[in-house]
Amino acid sequence: MFRKTITFFKNVKTELSYVSWPTKADLKEGTTVVIIMSTIVAIFLSLVDTGFGFIIRKVLFKG
């Protein structure tokens, strides 16, 4: 049992050596894209929510 665990972690270490890790510039670019897209989606959803809220108030309360 213990030998299998050691073998597993050795295999994990070997597989991690094959990973192509991103550079610092790639990380900055990816983070920037995620922040910008999250902001755009948040603004869009808040506008849609406000619009639907306005429509529902007009329909339900008729004024």
* Per-residue pLDDT at 35: 98
Token pair of 6 as six digits:
């050691």
Question: How many other CB atoms are found less than 10 A from the CB of residue 18?
Answer: 6
37: Cα separation from own chain's centroid: 10
Q: Are 30 and 22 in contact (CB under 8 A)?
A: yes
Residues found in the chain:
63
Per-residue pLDDT of the chain (63 residues; tens, 9 = 90+): 789 999 999 999 999 999 999 999 999 999 999 999 999 999 999 999 999 999 999 999 875
> What does the domain layout of the chain look like in residue ranges?
21-63
Quickly list DSSP for 10-48.
HHHHHHHTT--PPPHHHHHHHHHHHHHHHHHHHHHHHHH
